[in-house]
Structure 1
Amino acid sequence: MKFHFFPIITFVMIVATNAALSPELYWKSMLPNTPIPKSITNLLHFGKNLVCSLKRSNLKDQKVEKLGYGGVNVGVYKGYYGSGTNVNVGVGHSPFDYLYAASDTQSHDDPNVALFFMEKDLHRGTKLNSHFTKASNEATFLPRQVADSIPFSSNKVKDILSKFSVEPWSDEARIMKNTINECEAKGLKGEEKYCATSLESMVDFATSKLGKNIKAFSTEKAENDTKLKKYTITEGVKNLAHNKVVVCHKQNYPYAVFYCHKTDTTKAYFVPLESADGSRVKAIAVCHTDTSKWNPKHLAFKVLKVQPGTFPICHFLPEDHVVWLLK
């Protein structure tokens, strides 16, 4: 089945003599002792001290593939509402939105794949069916001065769509509107959330919540194979952080936008994985120790057959998501 995806945006870059620090230099100025994860460097394609004008080109129909949200084979289709098969979470409802209700059929479409798992399973020898893949949205960061010049608000949708030459009735428009709406929606009680439209603003949010003595981690995969595989947790599971973490999830948008949230009931783990064919993944898992405020119909409860607030629930981070924690 074919769906429309975001138009490919070509950013025509112009060197600006009075431009602010590039995103990479800003990171280094704020966090000089914190390496930039590969997942972030992959989104820094525009070089130093640049401003850009936006030009739409190469609008193509692309087959919408299933995303590896949570490190597993879960279809989050970036197209029509209610379209698609398998585990269709729908536009604007990623599994990391803990207030959404899953459909009655979601957890039955692929019974061999578990999106969420228990914290008690994070030990050597546990086998998990996982599908580590990057989102097909390869949108990269804009420098902050450029991103800040572009509206990002539900009451400015008309202007936003016009800037990107997106038809208001199109699937691309629905995707962009849903991303904005999710960013503006109220979060869980006790959750501090923020949508970063630039790397600089993501750094600012993380440091404002955790301070500057922090590290950033992402899942790393040794090869480009994205097939569904059975992985085994190998020796070396490490508890990276207790409670105080900031997690940033990449959203569907023409340029890089990250939904970041900080809670005091989250843990982060380093989890080494290996498949039968020798493929290895340095995975980052996030575990939520208090799920009592989640929607009782969230997919996690359907898959694990547990009630809200009863057990810590975990998921792997896709490659292009980031977890921030204290050193």
Structure 2
Amino acid sequence: MEFLVIVAVLLSFTGCHAKIKDSSSPMPLALSYWNNKLPTTPIPTLLLAHLSSLEPNSPSYFKQTSTLIQPLTKIIYTHITYTRNTATSNSTKPKVTVSAEPMFFLQKTLSIGTKFTTDMVFWKSTETLYFLPVVVANKIPFSTKSLSASLKTLHITPNSEMGLTMKETLEVCESSAMTGESKKCLTSLESMIDYTTSQIGTNDLNVFVTNVSKTKSGLQQYSLASISFESKPTSRFVACHPIGYPYLVYFCHQIKDTRMFQLSFKSDEGNIAEMVAVCHEDTSEWNPEHVSFKMLHVKPGGEAICHFMTEDEILWIAAN
């Protein structure tokens, strides 16, 4: 009963999220879980910035909640970067859309000196979302069948922009996986760690994220300076993408016949970009209307198609 009250207090603000406390705050429980489960893996700054220090078991929890919640004013989310072939206009399955077109390229063009003319802006939410404490996240229904209950708990109107986003997200999360794909939507950092380690088969992991250091904006010519990491053809890795919800939720999946690269780019203007790229060697199940086929003038099942990971996305791979 006490915990239900905690959930109600935490979520009594329409579309809300918890704000990180200052450096003198106790270590978030999720960070303790990370250190215990992944002792050899440093947590990336990206994830550290998304941790909430709300502690449901703390005597001062109610005071923390009242002072650390602020309204969610804006959310921009990235869907997975492909559309399933079964999702046609006549299909009852959700059609996954792309909120911003990633930069696609063919794997065969990936070599030192390759040039891209771009602004190198890798979109992410302008409003930082936070993982809920796992004990709170696990108490909130997360399914299309329970959508009405979730909307009521979160005080969100069904036909509002966020209400419709939640519905679409849940449909994506529950849609069937492609052949050779394992996928799951994860509502806490702890569940992301558990899913990733179970899929890869080890707790000794490397975590890759994209990082763009911009000194000047606008279109520039970037050259590939180095390939600092390239996965083996047999390597197993998990890619995680943030997906629209009032609090932080990641869509994570493992796909067969996929390679990953860590690439260093430098622009003529001095900007530096450390990029994570994923190359899909089997696109036979992708929607023939997918934007990448039109951009690259190839067909499903043809040449390997690559795309960059955005600054909000995470890639996990075994360290050895």
Match of 2:205 among 214, 228, 245: 214
Residue type of the partner of 1:177? K
- Counterpart Cα distance in 2 of 1:228 and 1:100: 36
Is the CA contact 2:82–2:287 (under 8 Å) kept in the aligned structure 1? no
- Counterpart Cα distance in 2 of 1:59 and 1:321: 20
- Correspondence 1:50-199 to 2 at 5 A: 58=71, 60=73, 94-99=80-85, 115-128=103-116, 129=118, 130-199=120-189
Q: Who is 2:253 aligned against?
A: 261
Comparing 233-242 with 270-279, greater Cα deviation is found at 233-242
Q: Who is 2:300 aligned against?
A: 308
Q: CA separation of 1:224/1:277 partners in 2, compared to 1, >3 Å: closer, same or farther?
A: closer
Residue type of the partner of 2:222? Y
Q: CA separation of 1:215/1:48 partners in 2, compared to 1, >3 Å: closer, same or farther?
A: farther
Deviation at 1:191, TM superposition (A): 0.5
- DSSP-derived class of the 2:236 partner: strand
1:323 aligns with 2:315: yes
Is the CA contact 1:137–1:252 (under 8 Å) kept in the aligned structure 2? no
Give the superposed CA RMSD.
Answer: 3.2
Is the CA contact 1:144–1:200 (under 8 Å) kept in the aligned structure 2? yes
Match of 1:233 among 211, 224, 230: 224
- Counterpart Cα distance in 2 of 1:276 and 1:100: 43
Q: CA separation of 1:229/1:252 partners in 2, compared to 1, >3 Å: closer, same or farther?
A: farther
Comparing 225-234 with 256-265, greater Cα deviation is found at 225-234
- DSSP-derived class of the 1:163 partner: helix
1:43 aligns with 2:35: no
**What percent of counterpart residues are identical?**
33
Deviation at 1:131, TM superposition (A): 2.1
TM-score normalised per structure 2: 0.78
Residue type of the partner of 2:104? F
Unpaired stretches in structure 2, ≥5 consecutive residues = 1-12, 22-26, 90-99
Q: Deviations over 1:252-300 (max 9, x none)?
A: 1111111011123111101001122111111110111111121222121
- Counterpart Cα distance in 2 of 1:319 and 1:22: 24
Larger Rg: 2
- DSSP-derived class of the 2:317 partner: strand
- Counterpart Cα distance in 2 of 1:161 and 1:241: 44
- Counterpart Cα distance in 1 of 2:125 and 2:220: 18
- Counterpart Cα distance in 1 of 2:194 and 2:158: 33
Q: CA separation of 1:119/1:148 partners in 2, compared to 1, >3 Å: closer, same or farther?
A: same
Residue type of the partner of 1:141? F
Match of 2:271 among 259, 267, 279: 279
Q: CA separation of 1:7/1:94 partners in 2, compared to 1, >3 Å: closer, same or farther?
A: farther
- Counterpart Cα distance in 1 of 2:106 and 2:136: 42
Residue type of the partner of 2:151? L
Aligned length: 282
Is the CA contact 1:240–1:269 (under 8 Å) kept in the aligned structure 2? yes
Is the CA contact 1:194–1:259 (under 8 Å) kept in the aligned structure 2? yes
